[in-house]
Amino acid sequence: MGFTLLSLACIPLILQLRFDFDFEKFFPEGDEDLEFFLEFIEDFETDDNFLLLAFPAPGGTVFDSTYLRQVADFAENARDFPYVDRVLSLPDIRLPYRTPFGIGSRPLVHLDQPERFQEDSTLIFSSDRFRGRLIDERAASSLVFIKTIDNLTIDQSGELLEIIRSEIEKSDLDEWHGLGRAFFQVEISRSQLVELTRSTIISGILVSIILFFLFRRWRVVLISLVSIAISLLLFLGFLSITGRELSVMAALYPVIMIIVGTSDVIHITTKYLDEVSRGRKPDSAVYATVKEIGVATLMTSVTTAIGFASLLTSRIAPIREFGVNAAAGVLIAYITVVLFTTIWLSLTPTSRLLRDDRGRYFWYNAMNWLYSFSLKRTRAIWGVGAAVIVVCVIGITQITTNYKIEENLPRGEKVTDDFHFFEEHYFGFRPFEIAVTYKDDQGVDNYRALEEINRLEMHFREYKDIRSVSSPAALYRILYQFSKGELMGDEEFPPDEEAFQELERFSRLASALEPNVLTSPDGMRARISANIADVGADSIQTIGNSIMDFVDREMDLERADFRITGTGLIIDKNAQYVRENLIQGLGLAVLLVSILMMVLFRQPLMLLAGLLPNLFPLLFAAALLGWFGIELEAGVSIVFAIVFGIAVDDSIHFLAKYRLVRGRGYGVEESLIRTFRETGKALCLTTVVLFFGFLVLLFSQNPPSFTVGLLISSTLISALAFDLLMIPSILRWIERRNGN
């Protein structure tokens, strides 16, 4: 009754759970580049404070009066939207130029003069000043640039997107594509809610089917399912009452809770049914179950929780939060299953639980065969183990960290399709910035400094993946062209100091052409802002290193410091920290599990039997990354914590049962064969559940979740095999060493 009331109380709490997606939370804490970036944006602005809306032209070309008027009207209305600082579209641009009568300006596109569209088109495509920024290469769509306030919250993003969708529906702009912070936050959060619901339903159905085939009694299946459901409700209620928010990895929570709960249920229920089938009364069967399996399951739950808790070594906040939440969930599942399941089983008539289990003979023979194989093929087992290590090392050497944004976007969703649209037709999403900090009193607003920035910007053009470069020098190239009365042709930087000084009066007229803040208020820092194709973190680092080599050779480093910065650089550094934190976290997990095993078994050599076989699954999981070309990034790194935590569980169950039987006075081989018969079956069944449970993630639209499911499902089979085949041979060696 208490569990029922608690579960009902959790339902309103669960409805209050919030989803959150924020790039800043994936910044590695304590990083010097992050500290510099936070200081940098105080002088400028964040590099993700924008929302891009692209509208394909119905007629296949943007040079249509009706279409351009619709875009102009939408841009005008967007200026009144909340959280919007500035709006820029193709019809808004006016170009300054010199005339015999002074300084004049003309529209980039003559809305009311279609006969001049050919002239306008020629002008627009004469340089990359607008192409790829406000209009695509084929002139099939144009873009509305919306500059928002810095650090939009998810609620603010949702409000803004709702107004934008409503305004688009009122207009005749039927098709649109979005890109930017607000769009990512809203769409990915919505996708996570769908993913969470889908994974819960599919996991529940799959577990129901598996439990039915295992126990063949609907009452046993019902008890198991209700236990698992209550543990999931309590866990989600715990997240809500502790103020947790659901991140991009939230879809893993129901899968983890369901399969961990199912594993506990199988161990508890199987042991209880074995005891009552031997003629024990329910109370006595519950006592024996809790004494033998309850303690071992507690230890396995603790080791699984330690595996998740090892993620606390990560510098990335969402990874740490996931580790803490998952560790708490494992313990909640254990408490719920042990208390609720055993009570309900003991209150249910035995006749409604037991069945004529002809499959018992299958498991009896199968476990006998495994025992015999481990006894007679010891050298072959260790030979295969050595070969596996060699093959795994080869695979591990092929692991890369070339993280790409698109590989973490949900498949088949609008946010992903739109991301690809902008990558193909416009300058994309990934920012690439260089901060120039001056040491002298002159700062950036002088010819010498800007000429140097111009040379660096020209060097950017040697890299095909760098697009849409903006800098204070770019503005003066535009001004110089206009000062000569030219609207088309190659942009040139002023050739001398005198020509540069003459451009001062043009600066305010041309400011609309560069929507980014490119110079700090005190004039002592400049910003070279660009976008770079989503070619991967390692590839971008190579480009960055090449640019900095050019800076070291060509720039006057006594006058200014040049430094790559921006959100792209900070997030890409996660790849470096993932490797470091992975080793630290696993090392800590191994240490803590070793301490627990020492407390449980009180024999140092038993650590060898408990830990050695579980290193193979870790190597296997790492090798899969290399063999399948899967990038090692933050979302994938949690695989190793899960694999280690679950793999150790099987070892503890096996060793605990062996120690218990051995303590009754049985010999080594008799203890091993009894352990195989009584515990081996449960280990195989729970591994089957875990295997298919994580396979549920293959239905995920989120690539990291899909990868986690694939890796863990594949690795758990190897973990079971190494445990059942290697542990017996290690135990025999230990017993011989001890003179038994």
pLDDT in tens, 105-145: 778 888 888 888 888 888 888 777 788 888 888 889 999 99
Contact 258, 693 (CB under 8 A): yes
Spatial distance between the Cα atoms of 137 and 714, rounded to a whole number of angstroms = 45
Is the CA virtual torsion 109, 113, 119, 122 positive or negative? Answer: positive
Q: What is the arithmetic mean of pLDDT over 224-249?
A: 78
Q: Is the residue at 16 inside a domain? A: no
Contact 642, 585 (CB under 8 A): no
Q: How many domains does the chain have?
A: 1
Give the CATH number, domain containing residue 261: 1.20.1640.10
Contact residues for 697 (Cβ-Cβ < 8 A; gap 6+): 199, 251, 252, 255, 705, 706, 708, 709, 710
Enclosing H/E stretch for 56: strand 50-56
Contact residues for 680 (Cβ-Cβ < 8 A; gap 6+): 363, 366, 367, 370, 654, 724
Q: What is the pTM of this model?
A: 0.77
Spatial distance between the Cα atoms of 145 and 158, rounded to a whole number of angstroms = 18
Beta strands per DSSP E along 313-430: none
- In the numeric block, the tokens 């790039």 are attached to 23
Q: What is the arithmetic mean of pLDDT over 3-31?
A: 67
149 secondary structure, DSSP code: P
Region of poorest pLDDT, from 281-290, 379-388, 629-638: 629-638
pLDDT at 267 over 80: no
Contact residues for 699 (Cβ-Cβ < 8 A; gap 6+): 198, 199, 202
Instruction: Quickly count: other Cβ atoms within 10 Å of residue 340's Cβ.
Output: 21
Contact residues for 598 (Cβ-Cβ < 8 A; gap 6+): 604, 607
Q: Is the residue at 179 inside a domain? A: no
Q: Is the residue at 12 inside a domain? A: no
612 secondary structure, DSSP code: H
Q: Is the residue at 492 inside a domain? A: no
**Percent of the residues in the chain that have a pLDDT greater than 90, as a whole number:** 4
Contact 422, 525 (CB under 8 A): no
Contact residues for 720 (Cβ-Cβ < 8 A; gap 6+): 650, 683, 684, 687
Enclosing H/E stretch for 600: helix 574-601
Q: What is the arithmetic mean of pLDDT over 578-594?
A: 70
- In the numeric block, the tokens 């928002």 are attached to 148
Q: What does the pLDDT read at residue 737?
A: 78
Region of poorest pLDDT, from 103-117, 118-132, 289-303, 582-596: 582-596
Q: Assign 104 a pLDDT band (cuts: 50, 70, 90).
A: low
Region of poorest pLDDT, from 102-116, 480-494, 626-640: 480-494
Domain that holds residue 723: 186-397+573-737
432 vs 704: which has the higher pLDDT: 432
Enclosing H/E stretch for 721: helix 703-737
Q: Is the residue at 35 inside a domain? A: no
Tokens of 25: 């939370």
Q: What angle do CA 448, 450, 451 make, to 5 degrees?
A: 65
Write down the number of H helices and E strands in the chain: 27, 12
Q: What does the pLDDT read at residue 432?
A: 87
Most confident of 252-266, 361-375, 441-455, 645-659: 441-455
CA distances to 119, 326, 405, 408, 710 from 700, in Å: 50, 19, 17, 12, 11
Q: What does the pLDDT read at residue 101?
A: 60
Contact 231, 261 (CB under 8 A): yes
Spatial distance between the Cα atoms of 599 and 593, rounded to a whole number of angstroms = 10
Spatial distance between the Cα atoms of 333 and 253, rounded to a whole number of angstroms = 12
Q: What does the pLDDT read at residue 55?
A: 92
Tokens of 569: 């650089």
Beta bridge mates, 435: 527, 563
Q: Is the residue at 675 inside a domain? A: yes
pLDDT at 480 over 80: no
Mean confidence (pLDDT) of the chain: 79
Q: Is the residue at 659 inside a domain? A: yes
Give the total residue count for the chain. Answer: 740
Spatial distance between the Cα atoms of 20 and 234, rounded to a whole number of angstroms = 21
163 secondary structure, DSSP code: H
Q: Assign 162 a pLDDT band (cuts: 50, 70, 90).
A: very high
Q: What is the arithmetic mean of pLDDT over 512-526?
A: 71
User: Regarding beta strands 18-19 and 560-565, do their DSSP bridges make them parallel or antiparallel, or are they unpaired?
Assistant: unpaired
Spatial distance between the Cα atoms of 350 and 424, rounded to a whole number of angstroms = 66
Closest CA to 419 of 184, 130, 158, 84: 184
Spatial distance between the Cα atoms of 417 and 539, rounded to a whole number of angstroms = 23
- In the numeric block, the tokens 């994936």 are attached to 26
DSSP reduced 3-state for 492: coil
Contact 88, 75 (CB under 8 A): yes
pLDDT at 546 over 90: yes
Could you please report the per-residue DSSP string of 79-132?
Answer: TTSTTEEEEE-GGG-EEEEEETTEEEEEESS-TT-GGGHHHHHHHHTTSTTTBT
Beta bridge mates, 18: 245
Contact 716, 690 (CB under 8 A): yes
Instruction: Quickly count: other Cβ atoms within 10 Å of residue 8's Cβ.
Output: 10
Tokens of 265: 């249920």
51 secondary structure, DSSP code: E
Enclosing H/E stretch for 211: helix 181-215
Q: Is the residue at 466 inside a domain? A: no
Q: Assign 567 a pLDDT band (cuts: 50, 70, 90).
A: confident
pLDDT at 512 over 70: no
Enclosing H/E stretch for 584: helix 574-601
Q: What does the pLDDT read at residue 478?
A: 76
Q: At what angle do helices 681-695 and 359-376 cross, to 10 degrees?
A: 100
